[in-house]
Structures are given as structure tokens and as C-alpha cells.
Structure 1
Amino acid sequence: MNQDLLALLRRIDTPTVCNAIEVVQGRRGFSAFTRGTMVCTEPGTAVVGYAMTAQIAAVAPPTEPADVIRARRMAYYRAMHDAPKPSIAVIEDLDWPHAIGAYWGEINTTVHKGFGMSGALTNGVVRDLGDLPDGFPVIAGSIGPSHGFVHVRSVGEPVRIFGLTVKTGDLIHADRHGALIIPPETIPHLADAIAKLQATERLILDPARAGDFDFAAFEAAWGAFEKART
């Protein structure tokens, strides 16, 4: 992915990317996106990057020996540090939908941002909302006060976040609307599709914002809009 496309994707929201993928594919029905309402710590910011996956749990204490837990934790941090950039931590909380342990707080977000990662996507919990570093959005399943018995259960395995299965290396776009996986075959055509989509939307938006907008203007604009869109 070139830097111009990366910059473009960071400027637009996830629904626009979802629509642009359908423009590239030439049909409706793209389905590689999350379902349900998520929370975002930086609502006006989009996160773009390649997934580095892991699984955690927090409701119950770990049952494995402490040295095994620590070794896996360090392997987790090594994987996040070494993940190809731009990267996103994609973390499945195995306690969902009853997740209680906020893996994402001031310390962990600061560490992951320090590793050069772009943000995090999780079905789990986020906390420390007033103390999180700028420029590291967390799109999470909920907000809560406790870390519980949070511990890493796996690193690099496929995970499932709000109905979306994510594998390490998948290209993710996420914001306050949720997240999606950008199909690799659409990447070379995505910038043109976004431009086409935005031009098509202006066919209805510009007249609708005009002071003399009435039903006749709407009917004419909608006809042009329907003809142009996917």
C-alpha cells in the first residue's frame, strides 16, 4: 500500500471505504465488516493498518504456571513490536459478551503507540479515557473501570470481533462506526473508487444543500444519482 493511499484512507470514514469497496467490486453485498455498536476513544479519527492478532481473557485468573503466562505475554509484546507497519492490534476478549477486564488503558495504549502501532480493535474493554495518548484510537466493545485478571491466551491466531473474523496481516480500516477488512484485490483500485464515489454523492448532496432545493430538484438529482451509483 503506497503512502498516498494510506493518507487518503486515514482521511475518510469506514462507511466510505465500505461503499468504495463495492464500487471496485461492481456490486453490493460486501460483508467483511463488524456488526453492532462499538465505542471509539477518538471519534473523529480513522485507523488503518495490518492486523496483529491476539486473544485475552480476564474474568477468571489464569490456570497455567506464572512463567508460562509471562513468556506468552512477552511473546505478545514482541509480536506487536515487530508487526509490519502500519499495524493495528486486533484483540479478541474470550469473555465476550461478558468482558470485564480493560486490557486497554493508559499503560498498554502508551506502550503500543511507542511500538509504532496505529491503534487497537477489540471486542473487549477500554478504560482511562482521560489519560490515553493522542493518536492511538481504540475501537472497543465497551468501557469499564477494572482490569480483572487480564492475561494473554494466544498470539497470531485468527480472532473474531463483533462478527468479523480477522487474521494476522489483514488490512483493517476502523473508526467509530466499527471496522472492516479491505480485500487485497481492491487496493490498487481503491483511490479511484473513492473519487468516483464522492463525485457520485455530490450529485445529490450539492442540490440538497442549495437554498432553492425542492421536489423537482430532488427528483432530477436523484435520477442522476441512481444512474451513477453502484
Structure 2
Amino acid sequence: MADFPFTRADLEKLAQWDTPTICNGLELIVPERRAIGFTVEPMAVADEKLPPIVGLARTGTLRAKEPPRGRVAERAAWYEYVAAGDLPTIALLQDLDDRPGYGAFWGEVNSTIHKALGVLGCVTNGSFRDLDALAPGFQIIGGRVGPSHAHVHLVDFGGPVNIFGMQAGHDDVIHADRHGAVVIPAAAVTQLPAAIDLVSRREKVILDVCRTADFSPAKLREALRRSGEIH
């Protein structure tokens, strides 16, 4: 098993913040990643009321538009691969079809199987279905909702994927919610709470001034100066 510079408790702590807040913290810790490492397209969410999910990436690719023409990954092997161990996992499935989402891998059956395996949810550019029958608590953040699974089949798993601009690999830490998803560098996991606190305190200076009865552009200018012009 790989050694990580964080614990399950460290990952669970990050679930108290939404993904935009995580991105804010990362801008301080790893500014060189300010414009990379996150999804850049609108996404559909199975349940907007669920809290953010944070876990280790389990990556795979699929196709659905046509029957398999070559190698197909064994479904049972994929299930063994994604199963959570000491740390929670999140499935990242890239749909390789020229029209991603033609057929849905995710629905009642796969959400139930993956939840039983300890997977927190999935992030995919593909589609999902069975909205009223998905496993309770299993989050799906996908490209679209669709009715059929068509010829959906796994192509491969364990390699790098690109989900709407977010490039990720096996064991990357993923934070995801209704806004999308972001990769958290392993070394940044334990640094994020302090960074988020700093960003929040800087933002509070601006927000408090904007909410006063005697707000003015001059007071805003001063607040921006004191906050370090965070945005």
C-alpha cells in the first residue's frame, strides 16, 4: 500500500468545505496550479444536497456508442480495483466516445455496487441515469443525464484520465461537489485548513464592509488594501 502524508481524518476534514473554497486554498499553497487541475465544464449532479466527497482517485475509461471492437476491461477486476481500503475512494471514469454520455455506466446497479465497495461517488464526463433509484448517499457528478446504457463497456483502468479538463491519475486526492472537482496535491492536504482560514479572514474584511449601512467606494478601497486584494 502506498504511503500518504495524510490520514483518513485529514481527508474527512476537507469535506466541510465546498470545492470552490478548496480551490481558493490551493491558490495560496500551490499558486502554479491556479489554472490547472480542476473541471472546466458545467456538470450534472445526482444530488445537490449531498456534502462534498474527498478520496483517492480510481481511474478508468469507457465507451458506449458502439459494441466493443478491441480489448475490454473485466468488470469484476474494476470492482476489485476501486474498492476502498484504509482510505476512501472516488471513481473517475472518462468517456472516450466522440459524443461522451451516449450510454450510461452509472445507474441503480453500479451506484449500489460501488457504494457497497466503499466508494464515495464518481466524477465522469459521461452520463448517468436511474435518478430515483441511485444508491442513497452515493454522489455522481457527470456530464449529463441519459436514459440508456447503450453498449457501455470499460476499456481500461488504472491510467491517467481527463475529465472536462481535469487531468488525474491513480491515487490522486479528489475533492468534488455540485460545482465540479479538483485534484489536491498530496502535500497540500494538511496545509489546506490553515490556507482556507487565511482566505476566509481576508474575504471577511471585504464582505463586512459591503454589508454596512454607510458603505462607500472609499471604504471598499480601504478594505481591499487591508485584505491584500485576495481576488
After TM superposition, the score normalised by the length of structure 2 is 0.88
Which runs of structure 2 are paired with 1:111-130 in the superposition (5 Å)?
111-130=113-132
Query: Which amino acid in the other structure matches residue 114 of structure 1?
Result: A
8 Å CA contact retained: 1:22, 1:30 = no
- Does the C-alpha gap of structure 1 residues 4 and 157 become closer, same or farther in structure 2, counting only changes over 3 Å? closer
Match of 2:139 in 1: 137
**Cα–Cα, structure 1 residues 104 and 192, in superposed 2: closer, same or farther, change >3 Å?**
same
Question: Which whole-Å CA distance do the structure 2 matches of 1:43 and 1:20 have between them?
Answer: 22
Contact 1:85 1:117 in 2 (8 A): no
Give the structure 2 partner of residue 187 of structure 1. 189
Q: Is it true that 1:57 corresponds to 2:63 in the alignment?
A: yes
Contact 1:18 1:30 in 2 (8 A): no
RMSD: 2.1
Is 2:39 aligned against 1:34? yes
Deviating above 4 A after TM superposition, structure 1's stretches of 4 or more consecutive aligned residues are none
Q: Which one-letter code corresponds to 1:187 in the other structure?
A: V
Structure 2: state its 5+ residue gaps: 1-5
Alpha-carbon shift at residue 27 of structure 1 (Å)? 6.4
* 1:226–1:89 Cα change, 3 Å: same
Question: What is residue 29 of structure 2 aligned with on the other side?
Answer: 24
How do 1:67-146 and structure 2 match up within 5 A? 69=72, 72-81=74-83, 85-146=87-148
1:20-70 deviation per Cα after TM superposition (whole angstroms, max 9, x unaligned): 011113567341111111111122431111000111111001235xxx85x
SS in structure 2 of the partner of residue 118 of structure 1:
strand
For 2:109, the aligned partner's letter is: I
Cα distance in 2 for partners of 1:218, 1:55 equals 49
Aligned length: 225
Where structure 1 has 5 or more consecutive residues not aligned to the other structure, the ranges are none
* Bigger share in helix: 1
Equivalent in the alignment of 1:8: 13
Percent identity of paired positions between Structure 1 and Structure 2: 39
Task: State the TM-score, normalized to the length of structure 1.
Answer: 0.89
Alignment partners' CA distance in 2, 1:94 and 1:36: 16
